[in-house]
Chain A
Amino acid sequence: MALTLEEVRHIARLARLRLTPEEEQRYTEQLSAILDYAARLQQVDTSQIPPTATVLPLRAPLRPDEPRPCPPRERLLANAAQQQAGMFRVPPVLDQEP
């Protein structure tokens, strides 16, 4: 299950990773190997098994719809690279993505 260089570049772009040509090459090999490894699972016959999102016998716990006080805004903004007027300030986004 070999990935192409183009696919790796596409995935990197979606993940906002800037890869050097060497890295692109290396990850193409490594990711292909990982997929090959995972592909072994495909050999197991699962036609009789329902799709499984978790192997734990869990059901999502639910919480009552009760509002709780929020932490002070300053605390949440403290880690922002930039802030302004009580908001997070980010590089310009106008419909087009970077």
Chain B
Amino acid sequence: MTASTYEAVIGLEVHAELLTRSKMFCGCPVVDSTQAEPNTAVCEICTGMPGTLPVINQRAVEYALRVALALRCQVAETSVFARKNYFYPDLPKGYQISQYELPLAQQGWLSIDVGSGEQRVRVRRVHLEEDTGKLFHREGYSLVDYNRSGVPLLEIVSEPDMHSVEEVKAYATALRSLLRYLEVNSGDMEKGVIRFEANVSVRPSGSETLGTRTEIKNLNSFRALVRSIAFEIERQSRLLDAGKTVVQETLGWDEVRGVTLSQRSKEEAHDYRYFPEPDLPPLHVSAEWAERVRAELPELPDARRARFRERYRLTPYVASILTAERAIADFYEDALAAAPQVSPEKTANWISGELFALLNQAALDIDACRVTPRALGELVSMVESGEISAASGKAVLAEIFQAGGRPQDVVRARGLAQLNDPQEIERLVERVLQENPQQVQQYLDGKETVSQWLFGQVMRAARGRANPRVIREVLERALRSMEENPPTA
């Protein structure tokens, strides 16, 4: 009841690891830090040994530019790295190299759709920094693995333009999709390659002034993001309802109890005493470099979504699920190319319905799918031309999903070709009518529903392969002629 009288104001900071081969400032390989043996992808630089110097990874800058330009940001020709100073054992140098006053890019936007049409969430800044190591807490001590230390990290900061958890989820999802389209991040949330921090405040609906905000740290899943923000909106609304005030503070999210908790200890750490990194001269990005990266950007999810809707006449919903992943959108368009005579809507439905169901069941990505786009296109084409029934189509798809191959071969091997020949179907109908005189009589006595039962008998006689439309036509015709010339009993 309280939440409706207040409007939430939410901004998001997204940290995304970049899929470079080596680290941000040294040549150590970037490894899967959830799998690799601890401290095997580390050197003197990423463990902060005295006397070492950082050197910027060119591809990390290039990837950051891709994201910045895809978000329609203005790229700074000169940006500056800064030291963010704080002490924590996952940060071996005692500071994180980040960007502060002069970030790589500023003032962009991302388009989201929560069902009420497209809207823009402004992006305040995009900057480069380095990831920290990982801590493992034990009884009475902690252990540190620096494999992740120094992995290129992109921070994307939105303006506080979101007002509901739905908008937050749409923004986070769209951003993840964008990062994957740009091939700069795997999107693998379970491995922690994308992490969130949310700024949340509430204000009386209609008010223009911002309320006091809190900051929720270390949100590693969409679920934690959505639940923690929903909790925080409710908590702040209740405080205001009770005539109390919201305290500006840093919060942690307790996933198990489903509550936000104060992390008073981190307050002081906000005093980061940033200053320009003396070990790194300013980063120069020439207009030519930025232009080259822009020219090489792939078609982005929102543009592709719009094109799918217009060109293939897909509903907004289907267009958005087919464009959420670049690999799926590519699969769809390759399938269309393999069967250009089939309506794009039908092919879309086979992918978003049958194929997605199979992928979900098998917990597979489309990249690992044994059904090729061509096979799917051919399959849909066979169903649409009536060569096989829709039911057989599903069986064939399930089979090539398991074993690969082409639908034509499976249809031939399994004898699934649909029976379309009216003469053959007439023979079946005749036989069924002769074998079931009682039911026929019931029908002639006015019990019309019996025709459905007779239809089933004919389909059974055809072992499911007969074209249902033809059966219906032939059966109706046969029954009508019997009504006109009743059989002599």
Interface residues of A (CB under 8 A from B): 10, 13-14, 16, 51, 53-54, 56, 58-68, 70-71, 73, 76-77, 79, 82, 84-97
Which bucket holds chain B's interface residue count? 35 or more
If A62-B61, A66-B27, A93-B135 touch, does A76 touch B44 (CB 8 Å cutoff)? yes
Subset of 30 A-B contacts with CB under 8 Å: A13-B268, A14-B271, A53-B282, A54-B282, A60-B81, A61-B281, A63-B55, A64-B59, A65-B22, A65-B59, A66-B22, A67-B30, A70-B40, A71-B44, A73-B40, A76-B39, A76-B49, A85-B38, A88-B39, A88-B144, A89-B143, A90-B144, A91-B141, A92-B137, A92-B138, A92-B142, A93-B89, A93-B142, A97-B265, A97-B269
Is A97's CB under 8 angstroms from B87's CB? yes
Task: Pick from B21, B42, B280: contact of A65, CB below 8 A.
Answer: B21
Is A51's CB under 8 angstroms from B102's CB? yes
Min C-beta distance of B401 to chain A, whole Å: 37
If A60-B280, A76-B39 touch, does A67 touch B28 (CB 8 Å cutoff)? yes
Is A68's CB under 8 angstroms from B145's CB? no
Say yes or no: is B153 at the interface (Cβ < 8 Å to chain A): no
- CB neighbours (8 Å) of B56 from chain A are 60-63
Separation of A82 and B101 alpha carbons in the complex (Å)? 38
Separation of A22 and B138 alpha carbons in the complex (Å)? 38
Say yes or no: is B330 at the interface (Cβ < 8 Å to chain A): no
Is B265's CB under 8 angstroms from A68's CB? no
Is B102's CB under 8 angstroms from A65's CB? no
Is A63's CB under 8 angstroms from B57's CB? yes
Is B281's CB under 8 angstroms from A87's CB? no
Is A66's CB under 8 angstroms from B265's CB? no
Interface residues of B (CB under 8 A from A): 20-22, 27-30, 37-44, 47, 49, 55-61, 80-81, 85-89, 101-102, 135-138, 140-146, 252, 263, 265-266, 268-269, 271, 273, 276, 280-284
Closest to A91 in B: B141
- Across the A-B interface, give the 10 residue pairs with the lowest CB-CB distance, nearest first: A68-B27, A65-B59, A58-B281, A67-B29, A62-B58, A87-B143, A59-B284, A53-B276, A96-B265, A88-B144
Is B43's CB under 8 angstroms from A76's CB? yes
- CB neighbours (8 Å) of A93 from chain B are 88-89, 135, 137, 142
Beyond known contacts A64-B58, A90-B141: 19 more, CB 8 A cutoff: A10-B271, A51-B102, A53-B80, A53-B102, A60-B81, A60-B281, A62-B61, A65-B20, A66-B22, A66-B27, A67-B28, A73-B39, A82-B141, A88-B89, A89-B142, A90-B142, A96-B265, A97-B88, A97-B268
Question: Between A and B, how many residue pairs show CB distances below 8 Å?
Answer: 140
If A86-B37, A86-B39 touch, does A60 touch B87 (CB 8 Å cutoff)? no
Separation of A18 and B416 alpha carbons in the complex (Å)? 83
Is A95's CB under 8 angstroms from B263's CB? yes
Separation of A91 and B142 alpha carbons in the complex (Å)? 6
Closest to A67 in B: B29
Most buried by B among A53, A56, A97: A53
Is B276's CB under 8 angstroms from A60's CB? no
Separation of A28 and B393 alpha carbons in the complex (Å)? 82
- CB neighbours (8 Å) of A70 from chain B are 28-29, 40-43
Separation of A96 and B137 alpha carbons in the complex (Å)? 12
Closest to B63 in A: A65
Closest to A54 in B: B281
Is B284's CB under 8 angstroms from A60's CB? yes
Is B140's CB under 8 angstroms from A56's CB? no
Separation of A67 and B87 alpha carbons in the complex (Å)? 28
Separation of A71 and B40 alpha carbons in the complex (Å)? 8
